[in-house]
Structure 1
Amino acid sequence: MDLEDLSEEQRTVKLLRMNKGLITKQKVSSLPAKLINGGVAGLVGVTCVFPIDLAKTRLQNQRGSQRVYKNMMDCLIKTVRSEGYFGMYRGAAVNLTLVTPEKAIKLAANDFFRQRLSRGELKLSVFQEMLAGCGAGMCQVIVTTPMEMLKIQLQDAGRLVAQQRPMLHTVKLGTASPVLNCSYSVGPVSSTRKVSAIQITQELLRTKGIQGLYKGLGATLMRDIPFSVIYFPLFAHINQLGKTSEEDDVPFYWSFISGCVAGCTAAVAVSPCDVVKTRLQSLNKSANEDTYNGVLDCIRKIMRKEGPTAFLKGAGCRALVIAPLFGIAQVVYFIGVGEFLLGQTPFNLYSV
């Protein structure tokens, strides 16, 4: 229907809706705004959930016969007692440095592939959404693999020290006396050699070249591609349920809920791949821990020695990490922090 055929009131409403549509298109097509949104979301999210991520890494790496931590809370309590409060943030600097490009690539790549696959259509099919997520997952591993590699070395250092500590305090009292195994509370470990991400990077580049930083690339792809294939379509459909009409935006709280639900679901679904990736990327192991010669060898040894339940180690922690992380990411992304900072669109918390 032409504008001339409408009443003045109807014409005004339609023009407002058209303008709103133009603003939305401008917001979607702004790459600098996307990068800012992804970076801010990553920084806020990682800062909030990093201690839980540390617990997840340590739980995934411990073997059945050498258990140091019973569960997530036990891991966090022992970490604070032995390494201090900041021990829970071992490896956080790596994540905070690299999470900005990682989240920016992930979110921006997904939007890019969605736009390319839509070909002017208003709605994508589920298969097209899955393809867009697959493309985003493949792009992000450029940054994700080295970031995870360095983070895991720093996060797992405290577990290895805690695992060896009881052996250091084994004392023999005479020939007739039994061996007393005493694990003393010695406070923060002063004998632990502090290793930085820069030192690990330099050593890997010196000994193995650039491929040293990409150890576990196959396992990372095996985790991140299915994650993105599940997460992005699921988020899009759950988020769509929050719309009251085609013209209205989704309220920020619904984007948060959608991000949490989709992130939690995808995280649990790919948790076995995350266990394999964590084991492959752990360079420092104790004397009794297995080494692995690739993804298949890792899967075989875990299945044979620890059983199928080992593939779900840290699944609860991972869900607790990913759910708020992606909830926060989507809120920042959909609120439009980047657009607000660049002066492109109004800063709006609620749908209007």
Structure 2
Amino acid sequence: MSQQQISLPAKLINGGIAGIVGVTCVFPIDLAKTRLQNQRAGKQVYKSMMDCLVKTVRTEGYFGMYRGAAVNLTLVTPEKAIKLAANDFFRHHLASGGKGLTVFKEMMAGCGAGMCQVIVTTPMEMLKIQLQDAGRIAAQQQKPVMMAPTKLGTTNTLLSRSYNSGTVVTAPRALSATQIAKELLQTQGIQGLYKGLGATLMRDVPFSVVYFPLFANLNRLGKSSTEESSPFYWAFLSGCAAGSCAAVAVNPCDVVKTRLQSLSKGTSEESYNGVMDCINKIMQKEGPSAFLKGAGCRALVIAPLFGIAQVMYFVGVGEYILDNSPMRLLN
């Protein structure tokens, strides 16, 4: 069997394709997760994930479930590609003499991958959340969602008020991601797109620390020998199991990140001045259980997303993302 080292661009391309396929399949559940996490006690529009999806289809149509999908599909390619390729890069350089990695080194590689991906993840989710949550705010105020984009001049006051002071927004607008990005860049500079960076790091670094070593060890159980790859179905199941466990473990951080990155607020919804302020206010007003909002949705999103990502990555590269040796093309 001849072996050929796979180039970094090939890993990036296949990691990106894996992300696109996964996001397309699970995006409606991710939308439900965002809306459930942003709900406050006493102002609940949705009772559960299914209730959220049903009401979204009724009020916004089928494509309402894909509100914000465009920005996610645009940026998920570099985001997932960086995450998967960075993890492979760190694992390769942490491996000594071709020996298997220790669990600690696997966790360090995952940590490095998580820190690299936030470069793209933070602005991507910042924009996505605004689009996903617009329907919840409109439903809370019992007003229809406006599907046509508004003029940028009108959005300046809207975004600035909701971002800086938390003033109630009486009519959420169906803005485009481009309009929101331009407004943030004009009024706050690049840091406007990176609001919630600390919370994103709090979520993504621990997620990668848990996910990558867990997947590597689960996937290894499906191998008949060290020289062979595990079957496709085993890699998919391993990715689903590792992804769901890691997703639930870091869900409190995801709730904090979602709240911090939401620019527009519903009626009487408070604003937060940083991570600790957000944590304290959630604890005082909603209790510890609020940190588990959307946990089921998040597990349902992440499980197939990473299961699909592992299989798609294998199809293009020829080996799973987390083998202990450098990735090779198996002929």
TM-score of the alignment, normalized to the shorter chain, above 0.5? yes
Instruction: Report deviation, 1:337.
Output: 5.4
TM-score, normalized by length of structure 2? 0.87
**Aligned mates of 2:226, 2:329 — CA distance in 1:** 19
Deviations 1:162-183 (A, max 9, x none): 0001xx7xxxxxxxxxxxxxxx
| Structure 1 contact 45–325 (Cα < 8 Å) conserved | yes
Instruction: Report deviation, 1:139.
Output: 0.1
| Structure 2 contact 318–329 (Cα < 8 Å) conserved | no
1:219 is aligned to 2:199: yes
Higher RCO by CA contacts (8 Å cutoff, separation 6 or greater): 2
- Any idea what SS the aligned residue of 1:336 has? helix
Work out the percentage of aligned pairs sharing the same amino acid: 76
Deviations 1:106-160 (A, max 9, x none): 0000000001111333200000000000000000000000000000000000000
| Structure 2 contact 36–46 (Cα < 8 Å) conserved | yes
**Aligned mates of 1:73, 1:217 — CA distance in 2:** 30
Q: Which residue, 263, 269, 288 being the options, matches 2:249?
A: 269
Alignment match, 1:48: 25
Counterpart code for 2:102: S
Instruction: Report deviation, 1:33.
Output: 1.5
Runs of 4+ in 1 over 6 A off after TM superposition: none
Structure having the higher Rg:
1
Report which stretch shifted further, 189-198 or 231-240: 189-198
Counterpart code for 2:132: Q
- Any idea what SS the aligned residue of 2:229 has? coil
Alignment match, 1:144: 121
Q: Which residue, 215, 230, 243 being the options, matches 2:210?
A: 230
1:9-88 aligned within 5 A: 16=1, 19=2, 22-23=3-4, 26-27=5-6, 30-88=7-65
1:102 is aligned to 2:100: no
Q: Which residue, 116, 132, 137 being the options, matches 2:93?
A: 116
Q: CA RMSD in A?
A: 1.7
Counterpart code for 1:261: A
| Structure 1 contact 82–189 (Cα < 8 Å) conserved | no
Alignment match, 1:294: 274
TM-score, normalized by length of structure 1? 0.82
**Aligned mates of 2:103, 2:278 — CA distance in 1:** 33
> Number of paired residues?
300
Instruction: Report deviation, 1:31.
Output: 0.8
1:319 is aligned to 2:299: yes
| Structure 1 contact 32–338 (Cα < 8 Å) conserved | no
Instruction: Report deviation, 1:331.
Output: 0.4
Pair 1:121–1:338, CA change in 2 (3 A): closer
Alignment match, 1:175: none
Q: Structure 1: which 5+ runs fail to align?
A: 1-15, 169-185, 348-352
Counterpart code for 1:135: G
